[in-house]
Amino acid sequence: MNNNAYHNASTDQLLRLKRQESDSLLDIVRVINSNYTPEQMTRVAALTLVGQLGIGKLGLYLAKEPVLALTFTKALRDDTNIHLELLQLGPAIHRPVPVRKDHQPFLYQAGIEYVICLQGNSRTEGYLLVGDFAQSEQELQNDLIFMQTVAGMLAMALENRRLFEEHVAQASLKRELALAESIQQLLLPAVFDTPKGLSVEARNIPHQQIGGDFYDLIPCGKNAYIFCMADVAGKSISAALVMAVVQASLRALSRYARSLEDMIQELHEELFALNKGEKFVTLFLGKIDLTTQTLTYINAGHNPPLLKSGDQIKELTEGCIPLGIMSIEKPQTGNLILQTGDLIFLYTDGVTEQENPLGEMFGMEALKDWLLNCQSYHLTDSLIEELKRFSHEKPASDDISVMSVRIGEAV
């Protein structure tokens, strides 16, 4: 056994040692109330225990999910088997755990006699491992009480530091999300500058602060416009970044690409190089020539837009697979002659997958019925209200984007 200051101590000596304990605890309090890192706090606590109690073997582990990190050691080698035995102790252990050969063979073999959990309010913040420290039962009980006190103070300090850092990180993330949201809304046009003979409206309701849906209307040559609706797989920041890349690329390609097929191929190659097939984009890309009133389009795996002409509804499905997954052969191109008053209604799957409280989806047939019977000229606002009525205000599970492109004048 290692020499312990309490062994064979007189009453005066015991009083002096107790005062030393109090002074040591005060030192630890000062450290944990300072700006020390968790590693620095554990080192001070460990050195205090070694110096005060004459501990021969000591290890102090911090829980850094999903692993344990040995931040201080004295005469103890790190071992993954020890990690496993510590994790098997379970949560919320508030008393020193005596190490037994049949229960913790690796800890036992390493010479560890007791494990004390650094137990916070919400989780275990770490583990204190000790061995070779007491020469009598009285000393053992005294030392364990002191170690528990230090461990409790350290656990509280580590938890407070962790919660503070998480709060700071969350506040920073909220600011970044708010900034990203404002930037994304700038990228999604609220008002479209359209010529005589074309009327366009669109709305976006992200599921989270930012999302992966987007739409756009881009002038392309004399009296011609490219319009699109896209949905990036996934949500939040990564999807929004891909969305921004695709939108910027589309605007650049619209200036020089010879055809929609060329634009689709170049977008696919750029996305595949960016994501290596891990994130894909569904995209409807259309081009309207107002002089000839013709529509050319490619549907790259997107929900089929609906063409309303009189009392007829047609799904626009010609195209190819989504972009960014695998090589695309020559995509099919749809070609249509439009009439004045014809309407192209685009949407993302957040519309058809909107659920009501019974778990029923809005669906394609309901969307077609609504479009045939809707009397409002402003279809995007009307559909949003229809979805609210259907869902009884149940939150959407995905981004919702809608866009209407009408041949004819706005009212």
Calculate the alpha carbon distances from 102 to 81, 133, 223, 315 in Å: 14, 22, 84, 70
Mean pLDDT computed over 284-303: 95
Compare 139 and 106 and report the one with higher pLDDT: 106
Inside any domain, residue 53: yes
Q: Are 15 and 134 found together in one domain?
A: yes
What's the pLDDT tens digit per position in 144-175? 988 888 888 888 888 888 888 888 778 776 77
Inside any domain, residue 132: yes
Q: Are 157 and 197 found together in one domain?
A: no
Instruction: Give residue 1's pLDDT band: very low, low, confident or very high (50, 70, 90).
Output: very low
Contacts of residue 93, Cβ cutoff 8 Å, sequence gap at least 6: 117, 119, 124
End residue of a domain, out of 166, 181, 208: 166
Q: Is the pLDDT of residue 96 over 60?
A: yes
What's the pLDDT tens digit per position in 230-252? 988 766 667 777 788 888 888 88
Q: Is the pLDDT of residue 106 over 90?
A: yes
Q: Are 348 and 199 found together in one domain?
A: yes
Mean pLDDT computed over 98-102: 94
What is the per-residue pLDDT for 284? 97
Inside any domain, residue 218: yes
End residue of a domain, out of 151, 166, 181: 166
What is the per-residue pLDDT for 14? 47
Q: Are 247 and 356 found together in one domain?
A: yes
Are residues 226 and 287 in contact, defined by beta-carbon separation less than 8 angstroms? yes
Mean pLDDT computed over 179-194: 72
Mean pLDDT computed over 112-125: 91
What is the per-residue pLDDT for 48? 86
Residue ranges in 55-128 assigned as alpha helix (H): 80-87, 105-109
Q: Are 76 and 209 found together in one domain?
A: no
What is the per-residue pLDDT for 163? 86
The whole domain housing 254 covers 189-407
Query: Across the chain, what does the average pLDDT equal?
Result: 84
For the chain, what percent of residues have pLDDT higher than 70?
84
CATH code, domain with 31: 3.30.450.40
Q: Position of tokens 């650094």?
A: 118
Inside any domain, residue 182: no
| Helices and strands, counts by H and E, the chain | 10, 16
Which class for 404: exposed (0-12), middle (13-18), buried (19 or more C-beta within 10 A)? buried
CATH code, domain with 274: 3.60.40.10
- The secondary structure of 259-287, three-state, reads CHHHHHHHHHHHHHHHHCCCCCEEEEEEE
Alpha carbon distance, N-terminus to C-terminus of the chain: 93
Are residues 382 and 376 in contact, defined by beta-carbon separation less than 8 angstroms? yes
Mean pLDDT computed over 350-363: 91
What's the pLDDT tens digit per position in 370-399? 999 988 888 999 999 999 999 887 877 788
Q: What DSSP designation does 234 have?
A: S
Inside any domain, residue 318: yes
Inside any domain, residue 175: no
What's the pLDDT tens digit per position in 15-72? 455 555 555 565 666 666 667 888 888 888 898 888 888 899 999 999 987 789 999 9
Compare 264 and 9 and report the one with higher pLDDT: 264
Domain count, the chain: 2
What is the per-residue pLDDT for 256? 78
Q: Which of 355, 359, 348, 338 is nearest to 408 (CA)?
A: 338
Q: Are 133 and 83 found together in one domain?
A: yes
What is the per-residue pLDDT for 25? 61
Q: Which of 338, 353, 356, 408 is nearest to 379 (CA)?
A: 408
